[in-house]
Amino acid sequence: MVMPLILTAHIFSMAVTTASLYRFFKVGTFTRLIDHRPWSVMPAITQECASREIEPARSSVLHLLGIPTGANQPSKVTEMFDRAFDLFHRTAAPRGISEDITREEFTVIYAGDGKNDPETPLETIYPQADNLALFTVTLGSEVSESITRLFEENDFAFATIFDAVASEGADRLADMVMRGHLEMTDGINSEAAGTATVRYSPGYCGWYVSGQRALFARLQPERIGVELLESCLMTPSKSISGVIVTGPTEIHRFVPDFMFCADCVTKSCRERIAELDTTGF
């Protein structure tokens, strides 16, 4: 079931037609709000969904934990997985916000405070994009508070499993908000042959984490309950931010031999590049 629609005061100032309202509420499985801001190419879109919509596959959680798929698991571990998914559905309050941005505007945001690596993939990717949009998603504070509490109670095994479930859930939420934004944005054909949509985040691929400051100043994710700490980490911790880049598939391909690649733990870009031809995302 989709979570109840939350209306905010500025929504009532919108001048929309009956037809556009019908399209607005019928698209996808998300509840969506539109917040008009005078400098936007497209108004900010706020999305909410039920936790069931973003439940991660157990195989992806196992992969994140370094457990081979198909490996025999003790009944106690299986029981902890069941509890972790149950806690996820009881605590998660998935929300996201996104907003289109021009290449010129993103150039300023991406530059941040000048701490990016000298060479990065994104600096050559976004100028070739057909569309750019900033985004932030969060699972809400209760998930993060539960993880902290479990570790403080020394329930390390269960805390680790629940943390992995939440991380994978946040990743699925980011993907769903990305798709939802594209559905709601006129003129973007993200499914056209030879077109791919990929999201990139500060703190990865040479985009220095302090780039969050410029992103937050523009997008204002505080509207969905996400705040930026002095360290440029986000709270709640199970939140993701970045830029959604839609354009020719080829612009997203790069050889992972940049200076920062040696320090990367996940190497997830390799899987993402390999999937471009089959998924477009």
SS (H, E, C) 47-90: EECCHHHHCCCHHHHHHHCCCCCCCCCCHHHHHHHHHHHHHHHH
Cα–Cα–Cα angle for 78, 153, 88, nearest 5°? 45
Of residues 21 and 135, more confidently modeled = 135
Least confident of 8-22, 66-80, 129-143, 152-166: 8-22
Identify which of 243, 232, 169 has the alpha carbon closest to the alpha carbon of residue 200. Answer: 243
Taking the C-alpha atoms of 223, 226, 232 and 237 in order, what is their torsion angle to the nearest 10 degrees? -170
pLDDT at residue 12 is higher than 50:
no
Structure tokens at 188: 């973007």
Residues facing residue 248 across a β-bridge: 195
pLDDT of residue 271: 76
Question: Mind listing the pLDDT tens digit for each residue in 52-79?
Answer: 999 999 999 999 999 887 788 899 999 9
Place of tokens 């699925």: 172
Place of tokens 């069931």: 52
pLDDT of residue 259: 83
Of residues 3 and 266, more confidently modeled = 266
Alpha-carbon distance of 227 to 204, in angstroms, equals: 19
Structure tokens at 176: 């769903």
Is the separation of the CB atoms in 132 and 102 below 8 Å? yes
Identify which of 115, 129, 127, 164 has the alpha carbon closest to the alpha carbon of residue 143. Answer: 164
Q: What average pLDDT does range 117-143 have in this prediction?
A: 96
Residue 167: which residues within 8 A CB-CB, separation 6 or more? 64, 238
Q: What is the CA radius of gyration of the chain?
A: 19
pTM of the model: 0.83
For residue 42, what pLDDT band results from cuts at 50, 70 and 90? low
CATH number of 9-67+75-279: 3.40.109.40
Reduced DSSP (H G I as helix, E B as strand, rest coil) percent helix, strand, coil of the chain, to 5: 50, 15, 35
**Extents of the domains making up the chain:** 9-67+75-279
Question: Mind listing the pLDDT tens digit for each residue in 164-223?
Answer: 999 999 999 999 999 988 887 654 555 566 888 999 999 999 999 999 999 999 999 999
For residue 260, what pLDDT band results from cuts at 50, 70 and 90? confident
pLDDT of residue 188: 57
| pLDDT more than 90, % of the chain | 65
Structure tokens at 23: 């399209």
Is the separation of the CB atoms in 61 and 164 below 8 Å? yes
Identify which of 248, 97, 238 has the alpha carbon closest to the alpha carbon of residue 164. Answer: 238
Q: For the packed helices 141-152 and 75-91, what is the interaxial angle rounded to 10 degrees? A: 140
Backbone φ, ψ for residue 218 (5° rounding): -85, -50
